[in-house]
Structure 1
Amino acid sequence: MSISLDPAAVLWSTDAAQRAGRPLLVLLHGYGADERDLFGLIPYLPPEFAVAAVRAPLAPPFPAPGYSWYPIENLEDRDPAHTTAAAAGLVAWADDAASTHPAIGLLGFSQGAAVSLQAMRLEPQRFAFTVNLSGYATPGELPRDAELAEAKPPVFWGRGTADDVIPAFLVEHTTQWLPAHTELSGRVYPGLTHSVSEQELSDVRVFLDKRVAELG
């Protein structure tokens, strides 16, 4: 099962002629936001990337604004089906819209970060790296997890000590899961809530600059 992304609801950093042949960085917003939310990060990102900010496919329950990748009401539910459905939709969009790019990386916040990691688990060879901001790895096994663990793609995971949104069991699971399956660059930011700081963005830039160098 997958949930389709709206190709008309994608913000691109440049037009098609200027982005063809460049590595693509896909931005995935968090719960209750939209494709404009992370688009403001572009000045902090390496200019070598073409950037696409995609919109999540679901509308959260009223009165919450924006869009969501999957229902947030049952985070204690360890069934990965909802996250996997959203990730499958992202993979389908990437196969269609990002075919002219030599490499694809993902950068997600909160729900978007969870979907980014899940997409990498679905297609370990499709995505070059993931930036996980205030997110988590979804519990449960997927068929290609062993392949991912062998490939160990680079992942940046940043989170704050004052983040009270992500349940503790998900943080603990992610702490164990990421080093076993990825080449992890992790940083915990004292006092940071469920948000992104200037220091974190600086660390993300260092991580992404390394990816640019590796991609050539």
Structure 2
Amino acid sequence: MEATPPLDDAAVRWTGPRDGRPVVVLLHGYGSDERDLFALARQLPDAFLYAAVRAPLGMPWPQPGYAWYPIEGLESRDAARTTDGARRFLEWLAQAVGEDQTVGLIGFSQGGAVALQAMRLEPERFAFCANLSGYATPGELEGDASLAERRPSVFWGRGTVDTVIPEALVVHTTDWLPRHADLVGRIYPGLGHAVSPGELDDLSMFLTKQAEEKSAPGALQDAPRSAPRIGSVES
């Protein structure tokens, strides 16, 4: 099995200088690259500094783009490879963003799965997460109990005609997220494996709420809580 390489820091796109604002990292889906979600950043609240990263694995020839973990078929999702991708992301984050800075995540499809996996590995590091057309990876991780105690805000949006994510993973995520996070769930009738203008509006409202509720530096991480279209061929 090919080892997951480090992220390419030179490929990261930032919306501005690293000026101490809370950082939101964008993780693209399978077969895409950092430019995909970066296109959304100009439509999101400017209270945050956005960074779009490139997944570490190249796609099998002759397919373009990058992946967080290999997919051999729509039913094939290797939890260990998802975790490997998340650990590589965390290694990059430790070098790129100061420990005292508030960090949120937005991931599309398998980028959403990796974002949640990173949050599960280091729940104290992240203030919130938005999972767009993604899922929670089955299995237990060392940070799950802490995550369930902290209950960070998680936005999960998906379409009713999304046939890319296996139904079993949708069912698992529907059960898992409310037990580990303060869930903001949205279902979009007629939407496939993509981000619609309506979902983008909901995402913007979610981010605005995060900024308004916890405006002090680091406050998003301080305390546990009480209980255009973007798409890719695969997740």
**Residues 88/2 of structure 1: CA separation in 2 closer, same or farther (3 Å cut):** farther
CA contact (8 A) 1:57 1:67 kept: yes
Which amino acid is 1:44 matched to? Q
How far off is 1:73 after superposition?
A: 1.3
Report the equivalent of 2:229. Answer: none
2:9 is the alignment partner of 1:7: yes
CA contact (8 A) 1:29 1:110 kept: yes
Percent identity (aligned):
61
How far off is 1:214 after superposition?
A: 2.4
CA contact (8 A) 1:20 1:101 kept: no
**In angstroms, what is the RMSD of aligned CA positions?**
1.4
Partners of 1:213 and 1:98 lie apart in 2 by 22
Report the equivalent of 1:151. Answer: 150
5 Å-filtered alignment, 1:1-216, equals 3-15=5-17, 19-73=18-72, 76-77=75-76, 79-99=78-98, 102-216=101-215
- Which residues of structure 1 form unaligned runs of 5+? none
Which amino acid is 2:25 matched to? V
SS in 2 for 1:38: helix
1:27-60 superposed Cα distances (whole Å, 9 cap, x missing partner): 0000011000111101221101111000000012
Aligned length: 213
SS in 1 for 2:114: helix
Which amino acid is 2:40 matched to? L
Q: Structure 1-normalised TM-score? A: 0.94
How far off is 1:163 after superposition?
A: 0.3
- Which residues of structure 2 form unaligned runs of 5+? 216-235
Which amino acid is 2:136 matched to? A
SS in 2 for 1:199: helix
Structure 1 runs of 4+ aligned residues shifted over 4 Å read: none
Q: Structure 2-normalised TM-score? A: 0.87
1:138-192 superposed Cα distances (whole Å, 9 cap, x missing partner): 0011011011001110000000001010000000000000000000000000000
